Amino acid sequence: MPEPSIIHNTFAINRIYPKAPEVVFAAFADPEKKKRWYGESPSHKIEEFVMDFRAGGSERFRYRFNEGSPLAGKILSNEGKYEEIVMNRSIVISSSMSVEGKRVSVSLVTIELLPAAGGTELICTHQGAFFEGSGGPEMREMGWRTLFDRLATEVAG
């Protein structure tokens, strides 16, 4: 039986939000806000969403995909650890993602929030190891881009 293949990938996404870094940071730090833009989706039902937002703290999200999804009925789990947090400036989190108990990826995500003319520049650097059958880095980058669109809606409110 061949060893599973691993795909290593790094990508960066830059966004500008017309709000102060404190407002954007709060959307990551406040569990209710993060649940809205990061957790909720018409494609799945949240079964668990827990976060302890502090350096050394953890987060755990689990949801079941709805009918009509390519993974209908399956459970996706994401478990992470906040490695470093600098108030209103940066967040570093390591995490692993599993589908139906099978680990599909391990990631290190760095979020930087920089003051910009009229708001905040967000820089997200995602470093990942994607395991065989994970759907790969292209899907992950697309997912983060969609999440940052949702973040724009959250911080605009």
Mean pLDDT, all residues of the chain: 94
pLDDT of residue 136: 81
Residue percentage of the chain with pLDDT more than 90: 87
CB-CB contact of 127 with 108 (8 Å): yes
pLDDT of residue 70: 84
Band (pLDDT 50/70/90 cuts) for residue 133 is low
123 phi-psi bin (left φ>0, alpha ψ -120 to 50, beta other):
beta
Band (pLDDT 50/70/90 cuts) for residue 8 is very high
CA–CA separation, 155 and 151 (whole Å): 6
Domains along the sequence of the chain with CATH: 6-42+82-156 (3.30.530.20)
Q: Which of 80, 82, 38 is nearest to 63 (CA)?
A: 38
Backbone angles phi, psi at 36, to 5 degrees: -65, -50
Band (pLDDT 50/70/90 cuts) for residue 135 is low
For 73-86, how does the pLDDT look when each residue is reduced to its tens digit (9 = 90+)? 999 999 999 999 99
1 pLDDT higher than 60 = no
CA–CA separation, 78 and 124 (whole Å): 18
Band (pLDDT 50/70/90 cuts) for residue 5 is confident
CB-CB contact of 9 with 147 (8 Å): no
CB-CB contact of 24 with 87 (8 Å): no
Residue percentage of the chain with pLDDT more than 70: 96
Side-chain-side CA neighbours of residue 76 (13 Å): 19
CA–CA separation, 93 and 110 (whole Å): 7
For 25-80, how does the pLDDT look when each residue is reduced to its tens digit (9 = 90+)? 999 999 999 999 999 999 999 999 999 999 999 999 999 999 988 889 999 999 99
Token pair 């979020």 is found at 111
